[in-house]
Amino acid sequence: MKSFVKGGAAALAIIAASQVGADEDANLIINGETEITVRADAPEHLDNVSTIYSGWVFRSDETQALQMDDFDNPGMIFVDQGRDSWVLAEGSEGKSCADCHNEPESLANVRPTYPKWNDETEEVRTIAMQINGCRTEQMGAEPWKYDSTSMLNMEALLSSVARGQVMNVAIDGPAQSMWEQGKELYYTRTGQLDLSCANCHEDNYGNYIRADHLSQGQTNGFPVYRLKNAKLNGVHSRFKGCVRDTRAETYAVGSEEFIALELYVASRGNGLSVEGPAVRN
């Protein structure tokens, strides 16, 4: 992996350091049975990266170990809470998720394909948008706030039943224009630090920014349990934090800009396994 720093102003913020504590050759097997693809050939639409890596690869041995056993993974507490919500009847229709979908495992093929184009609404939907679509259109229930506790618990549940399945986000057809918008955002420098997503996660993955080991910023592990704030974190909240760290005005969680960015970033991980809820720093 990379051992030196590239990229203008990024050199002021990023400190190359010895990669102490991270076993970048390790393989992730959850509960001794579910094999997770944590490195793969980059998808054809990526020009500047030949191999893609899960963020798990860049974590310390101790953090890696937390994700290898569900009893140790603190994110699994929220999966259990998601299961409670799954069977809870709500709204004017008096329905629960289970009434239409039976067990959560019946939706194991959902997480790997999101965000995706929805023909009925003629829009790209994130998995959070789809969950709220079910709540409002099928259950007659109030939508959950984007990246709220209830929403992230349900996302964690849907991710957990899809672990081991390969990310396969479509970027062609009617979704292509939104994907192009996300790509432009990914490479646009912003803020007083004049940094883009690519400066950290494409040019400098494997290096350190302050005390944090930079990953490729893959989203296959979301929602993630961060040791830093001891809770589940959604993709858009993480985007918001990254943009804020460049000292720029950020977009809102659930905004069109972040939906586009999520579509693009998710597609960069095509070939990696779903592994949420992942554990990160």
Per-residue pLDDT reduced to its tens digit, 58-73? 999 999 999 999 999 9
Selected catalytic residue, list 151, 185, 242, 279 = 242
Looking up tokens 């191999």 gives: 51
Average pLDDT value over all residues in the chain: 92
SS3 58: helix
pLDDT of residue 18: 36
100 is in an annotated binding site: yes
Q: How far apart are the first and last CA of the chain?
A: 20
- Distance between CA 130 and CA 176 in Å, rounded? 19
CA dihedral for 152, 75, 157, 258, sign (positive or negative): positive
pLDDT of residue 131: 98
Q: For residue 43, give the nearest of 216, 281, 242, 224 by alpha carbon.
A: 216
Counting Cβ atoms within 10 Å, is residue 122 exposed (0-12), middle (13-18) or buried (19+)?
A: exposed
pLDDT of residue 21: 55
197 is in an annotated binding site: yes
Using DSSP bridges, classify how beta strands 231-233 and 28-30 pair: parallel, antiparallel or unpaired: unpaired
Q: Examine the pLDDT at 13 and tell me if it is beyond 90.
A: no
Domains of the chain are 28-279 (1.10.760.10)
Q: Examine the pLDDT at 116 and tell me if it is beyond 80.
A: yes
pLDDT of residue 23: 74
238 is in an annotated binding site: yes
101 is in an annotated binding site: yes
Q: Examine the pLDDT at 103 and tell me if it is beyond 70.
A: yes
Assess whether 242 carries a catalytic annotation: yes
83 is in an annotated binding site: no
